[in-house]
Amino acid sequence: MEFLVASSIGLLTTCGTYLLLRGRTFPVVVGLALLSYAVNVFLFAMGRLTINMPPILREGVTEYTDPLPQALVLTAIVISFGMTALIVVLSIRAYLEIGNDHVDGRPVGEPSEAGDKN
Amino acid sequence: MSLTLIVLLPFIGAVLPAIMIRAGRNACATATGSVTLLALILLMAKAPAVIAGEVFQVSYSWLPELGLNVTFFLDGLGLLFATLILGIGLLIIIYARFYLSKDDPMGRFYVFLLLFQGAMVGIVLSDNILLLLIFWELTSLSSFLLIGYWKHLPEGRQGARMALAVTGAGGLAMIAGMLILGDIVGSYDLTVIVQNAELIQASPMYVPALILILLGCFTKSAQFPFHFWLPHAMAAPTPVSAYLHSATMVKAGIFLMARMWPVLSGTPEWFYIVATAGLVTMVLGAWIAIFKHDLKGLLAYSTVSHLGLVTMLLGFGTPMAAVAGVFHIINHATFKAALFMTAGIVDHETGTRDIRRFGGLLNLMPIAGTIGIITAASMAGIIPFNGFISKEMMLEEAWHTMWFDQNWVVPLLATVGALFSVAYSFRFIFHVWLGKPRDENLPHHPHDPPFGMWAPPALLTVLVVLIGLFPATIAGPLVAATAGAVVGGELPEYHLSLWHGLTPALGMSVIAIIGGSLLLLRHGGLMSATANLSRPDAKAMFDCGIAKSVALSRLVSDNLHNGSLQRYLAIMVIGAIGIGLSGFYAQPDFQSGSRELLEVSPPAAIGWLLLVVTCVAAVFMHHNRLLTLLLVGVVGLIVSLGFIYLSAPDLALTQISVEVVTVILMLLALNILPKETPKESLPGRKMRDGIVSIAAGLGIGGVIWAIMTRDLPNTISSYHLANSKTEGGGTNVVNVILVDFRGFDTFGEIIVLGIAALSIFALIETVTKGDAAKRLASWVVELRRSPNRHPMMMVVATRVMLPLSLMVGVYIFLRGHNEPGGGFIAGLVVSVALIMQYMASGFGWAQNRMKVHYHGMIGLGVIAAAITGVAAWVAGLPFLTSGFTHVHLPIVGEFELASAMGFDLGVFLTVVGAVMLALAKLSQVERMAEHVDINAEPMDHDPSAPLVTPEKEA
């Protein structure tokens, strides 16, 4: 099981990073979303993997999984949503302002509308 | 106590001129002067005791952990400098009142001046070296403001910048040196440090500390090769030049050398660095001064030269030389401040400072002329003025000094320096005051200035004469007290007087005076002979250096920071991989741990397989954006399933509801954005990114594998598990951690979420202007639209669902403290329920019925959480301490009421507000793009309306 989780985290990181390095805003957003999954699961797995031991206190039960990474990841998930929403809106705004969705403001080799400043 | 007051008075008083300027210039100057006068009186009250050998000390602890305490002490050296700073400061304040014109903002001038004064007094009275450094930097800053006071003049601004750059850089070096010193001794108190000379000089860090501290001193006191900033600082108003650049600030470096004299001096390093720098500065400064046509320029280089003289004396390292140095500090301060003020008078009265245009001014301005001639004679070292005595002492000391086993080097150069000094001083006398007027068309007709302007220099001139005639009576006690404080022990036998008989020093003096006079007679020829010599222009070099460093930093930042996000991200990821790899190679024994692993169940294997397939597909098909989005949704779903499988029900609930909201959000975005990603990456780039991403994935996967295969060390989690029920009153430990144990974290997080939502709001509110609005207006619908925009089935179904889903939300919220759930999850569930209404019945219809302001909701949530936290203060507990109680109600039965519920409610409200605000704003853009009116009706067809046949409609 640990191998599955570790390989999933690695794969999510690889795919997320690759998409993150693309030149258009949408793949970058998607890449960031995949990276967020990887990071969240990574943090969660710091508490080690357990089955059927949720951190809900019960009479007569003494073994629980580590609750702390879960609490940290819970807020991280919500914050990643806030971040995703923000960059989605940023990319829309950028697209509307400059007329293309390249992350650098213009596709490679094309002068920007305002003239090439460099 | 009054010691602290002496330092604080100028700072506190600095507000006065700013206020009093409204009452007029006289009131302003009077207020400023009384502040300084009061401080001076306080100081003088202590003077007799200090001269008698007492040392006053006062101490308050500030940051004792860092060794930084507010400690002041007053000994002879501090007394001398504080007297100079406050005494000459008072004269300068009077002088400036008449010097500044009506157009100059006088209030601001006095504010800066008092700030500077306070900082200077702070330097000379500080006992703690860290405190001293703070005041040291304050003088650099306030002198920057004073030099650039006439901010309309480019020379003023450039001079101020140069002074700040040079002295500020020196100050930074000095901080390092002082820290080393404090580290060697183990204390940052000057009084302790000066008693540990042997310890410091034996330390291997002695030389670095010495060099760093001397860098600070040399830059501040304009010693070669850092002397170039001082003449450029002369662009300041003359009172500033007289105060900062003759009497006080430039002496700060000398003060520090004198203060550190007991611990740093006496070594060959000290002698060769300090004495040599002083000697070179003295000769070079005097030589340049001879050729300066600007009155203040001449005085500036002469100041450089005299500072070199004092530095050289301190560098000799003998107690007698220290006495001579201290005495010359006093003498130089008196005659040079007076000379600067005289130069200011000449400038003020004639409208120019060019020596070539003067001559015979004594007849026109007899008072100013007399002052100028006497003080310049003192500067030349002519009997019977005070400058003569200290110059004689200097020559006497130079006569005995060997330099690399050569007995002629120092005496010869000292005589040459004195000779040049005579030449420029006589030039000041003969070319300005005596002789025939050379230019009849001066900008103004010169005459003596008002009393307030000549009285301060006149007072100093009286001192010049009195100290010269009765040195032992007037200055003797102060010199003894100061020199005693510098040397830190018994002083040698010495006698301050004009006549010591026929000594070598007298011979050197006579040579200097005769040689200097001859040099001046040949001045015209000398000028033309040296006119064509190329000499280094310090300002050009400084500007060139600045320009080069700017170009270098621009080169670095332009290449790293070229505006390409792709490059930044690549650098960041590659950098992170590099750091990881370096750690890996430092300890290359990567091994799996020995923890017992969980078995792989068939569902888990299926989930993993699905994840792998969707991830890889998302990468390979990312050009089709809609498909990518769906695949990412699947990934999210598997992650939630993973959470629930691995004992994290709260995470699973959160993840799945966030997933829904995220997918809706991205769909909305995709409506506007292009639907395809163009294939534009070149194969090389794809290859590079592929390698980088695989390396990143392998690294992360390897790290987490290594972690998961090792046992969990004992963490704070066991505390959380043990105390969740008893302290936090809940059995869902994750929720108790969120709202109680780590409530402050959560509080910050909901604020971040709120800020993100508000940023989205701001980004979209302004979309109605500029290019974005034009593009929206001309936006063409790309995809085919369904003819049935709001299907009746969906409208009805979501409406039936709404109360149900809201109830689920409330249920999840209420049980959150004990069972999986809580404010975050409830907020997301309720948001999803509301969004469904918007989707089914249309934005306009739903928005008309939604009477809640989402901004308000975010604010309310944060406030609710804050109030819950503050309530704990009322109960006398730390912020966010939660309490709980069990309540028994008749029908409901017993249930628990925890104050953490209030906090969780805040979380809930913020989450709903933030999610809804983000989505509502996004759909506003969609509406603008689609060019359709807000629908007032929930459905495309009103089912209750009477049927209309097509024929009738036509």
pLDDT tens digits for range B887-916:
777 776 666 677 788 889 999 999 999 999
Judged by CB atoms closer than 8 Å, whether chains meet at A51 and B820 is answered as no
CA distance B624 to chain A (A): 10
Contacts of B912 in chain A (CB under 8 A): none
CB contact under 8 A, B701 and A22: no
Q: pLDDT at residue B612 above 90?
A: yes
Quote the number of domains for chain A.
1
Mean pLDDT of B558-573: 85
Are A7 and B649 in contact (CB < 8 Å)? no
Whether A85 maps to a domain, the answer reads: yes
d(CA B671, CA B766) in angstroms, rounded, equals 20
Strand B893-898 relative to strand B884-889, pairing: antiparallel
Q: What is the pLDDT of residue A27?
A: 92
- DSSP string over B615-673: HHHHHHTTTBHHHHHHHHHHHHHHHHHHHHHTT-HHHHHHHHHHHHHHHHHHHHHHHHS
DSSP letter (8 states) at residue B235: G
Q: What is the mean pLDDT of each run of 10 residues along chain A (118 residues)?
A: 93 94 91 94 92 87 89 92 92 88 72 43
Q: What is the pTM of this model?
A: 0.66
CA atoms within 13 A on the CB side of B498: 13
Does residue A103 lie in a domain region?
Answer: no
Residue B619 and residue A18: Cβ atoms within 8 Å?
A: yes
B102's tokens:
């009506």
Average pLDDT over residues B690-695: 94
- B747-768 in b/e form (b: 16+ CB < 10 A) is bebbbbbbebbbbbbebbeebe
* Predicted confidence (pLDDT) per residue in B161-206, tens digit: 888 989 989 999 999 999 999 889 888 888 888 888 888 888 888 8
- Chain-chain contact of A17 with B693 (C-beta, under 8 angstroms): yes
In a domain, A36, yes or no: yes
Question: What's the ipTM?
Answer: 0.92
Find out whether B211 and B177 touch, Cβ atoms under 8 Å.
yes
What per-residue confidence (pLDDT) applies to B705? 92
Domain presence at residue A25: yes
Contact B771 A99 (CB under 8 A): yes
d(CA B171, CA B137): 7
The predicted structure's pLDDT at residue A118: 38
Chain B residue with minimal CA distance to A17? B693
The closest of B28, B669, B72, B906 to A29, measured between CA atoms, is B669
Where do the H-state alpha helices sit in B488-537? 504-521, 523-531
Query: What string of DSSP letters covers B144-198?
Result: HHHHTSSTT-HHHHHHHHHHHHHHHHHHHHHHHHHHHHHHHHT--BHHHHTT-HH
Show residues of chain B in contact with A54, CB under 8 Å: 647-649, 820
Query: Domain containing A42: what range?
Result: 2-49+65-98
Taking an 8 Å cut-off on Cβ atoms, the answer to whether A85 and B918 are in contact is: yes
Give the per-residue pLDDT at A117. 38
**Mean pLDDT, residues B699-724 taken together:** 89
In a domain, A114, yes or no: no
pLDDT at residue B156 above 50? yes
Chain B residues within an 8 Å CB radius of A98: 771
- Residue of chain B whose Cα is closest to the Cα of A24: B677
**Euclidean distance between the first and the last CA atom of chain B, given in angstroms as a whole number:** 99
**Environment class of residue B461 by beta-carbon count within 10 Å: exposed (0-12), middle (13-18) or buried (19+)?**
buried
- Kindly state whether residue A72 falls inside one of the protein's structural domains: yes
**Chain B residue with the nearest C-alpha to that of A49:** B646
Give the CA count within 13 Å in the CB-facing half-sphere of B853.
6
The phi, psi pair for B861, rounded to 5°, reads -60, -45
**Residue B615 and residue A88: Cβ atoms within 8 Å?**
no
Model pLDDT, residue B953: 45
A30 within a domain of the structure (yes/no): yes
Q: Which percentage of chain B shows pLDDT scores above 90?
A: 26
What letter would DSSP give residue A93? H
For residue range B340-349, list pLDDT tens digits in order. Answer: 889 888 888 8
Within a domain: A19: yes
d(CA B118, CA B12): 9
- Residue B595, chain A, CB below 8 Å: the answer is yes
Measured in angstroms, the CA of A118 and the nearest CA of chain B are apart by 9
